[in-house]
Amino acid sequence: MRYQFKTEPGNVVFNPQNFTEAIKILISLNALLFLFRYIAQSQFDLAQIFGLSSNNIWPMIWQPLTYMFIHGDFFHVLMNMFVLWMFGSELESIWGRREFLKFYFITGIGSGLIWLLFNLNSNAVLIGASGAIYGILLAYGLMFPNRKVLIYFFFPVKVKYFVIFLGLMAFVSSLSYSGSNISHLTHLSGMMIGFIYLKSTWTLQRFKLLLNSYLAIIKYKKSIKKEKHIANIQANVDQLLDKVSEVGFEALSEEEKEKLFIYSKHLGKNIEKD
Q: Read off the pLDDT of residues 94-146 as tens digits, 9 standing for 90 and up.
A: 888 999 999 999 999 999 999 988 888 888 889 889 899 999 989 988 888 88
What percent of the chain stands above pLDDT 90?
20
pLDDT at res. 67: 93
Residue 166, pLDDT > 80, answer: no
For residues 194 and 242, membership in a common domain is answered with: no
Q: Could you tell me if residue 51 is inside a domain?
A: yes
Q: Do residues 110 and 193 make contact, with C-beta atoms less than 8 angstroms apart?
A: yes
CATH number of the domain to which 113 belongs = 1.20.1540.10
Residue 212 lies in a domain: no
Residue 20's pLDDT band, with cuts at 50, 70 and 90, is confident
Mean pLDDT for the stretch of residues 172-179: 53
Instruction: Report yes or no: 129 and 65 within 8 Å, Cβ to Cβ.
Output: no
Choose between 208 and 78: higher pLDDT: 78
My answer on whether 158 and 235 are in the same domain is no
Q: What is the mean pLDDT of residues 227-254?
A: 76
Tell me, rounded to whole angstroms, the distance of Cα 171 from its chain centroid.
Answer: 18
**Average of per-residue pLDDT across 155-178:** 69
Tell me if 209 is assigned to some domain.
no
Tens-place pLDDT, residues 139-163? 988 888 888 777 655 677 888 788 8
Per-residue pLDDT at 21 exceeds 80: yes
Q: Which residue has the higher pLDDT, 152 or 248?
A: 248
| Assigned domain for 208 exists | no
Is residue 176 situated within a structural domain? yes
pLDDT in tens, 44-78: 788 888 989 888 888 889 999 999 999 888 888 88
Mean pLDDT (the chain) is 78
Same domain? For 49 and 91 the reply is yes
Q: Is the pLDDT score of 225 beyond 50?
A: yes
pLDDT of 110 reads 93
Lowest pLDDT segment from 2-6, 209-213, 242-246:
2-6
192/248 same-domain check? no
Rg (CA), the chain: 25
Residue 213 in domain: no
Residues 29 and 117 in one domain: yes
**CA–CA separation, 155 and 40 (whole Å):** 41
Stated pTM of the model: 0.66
Question: Does 96 share its domain with 58?
Answer: yes
Do 232 and 131 fall into the same domain?
no
Same domain as 268, residue 138: no
SS3 letters for the chain? CCCCCCCCCCCCCCCCCCCCHHHHHHHHHHHHHHHHHHHCCCCCCHHHHHCECCCCCCCCCCHHHHHHHCCCCHHHHHHHHHHHHHHHHHHHHHHCHHHHHHHHHHHHHHHHHHHHHCCCCCCCCECCCHHHHHHHHHHHHHHCCCCEEEECCCEEEEHHHHHHHHHHHHHHHHCCCCCCCCCHHHHHHHHHHHHHHHHCCCCHHHHHHHHHHHHHHHHHHHHHHHHHHHHHHHHHHHHHHHHHHHHCHHHCCHHHHHHHHHHHHHHHHHHHHC
Is 11 inside any structural domain? Answer: no
Its domain, for residue 247, covers 225-273
Q: How far apart are CA 147 and CA 7, in angstroms?
A: 8
Question: What is the distance between the alpha carbons of residues 234 and 184, in angstroms, rounded to a whole number?
Answer: 43
The pLDDT value given to residue 3: 41
- Same structural domain, 75 and 192: yes
Residues 237 and 145 grouped into a single domain: no
Q: Are residues 157 and 265 in the same domain?
A: no
Whether 163 maps to a domain, the answer reads yes
Residues 44 and 111 in one domain: yes
- The angle at the Cα of 135, spanning 198 to 113, to the nearest 5 degrees, equals 100
Give the chain's domain count.
2
Most confident among 9-18, 81-90, 106-115, 162-171 (mean pLDDT) = 106-115
**Does 6 score more than 80 pLDDT?**
no
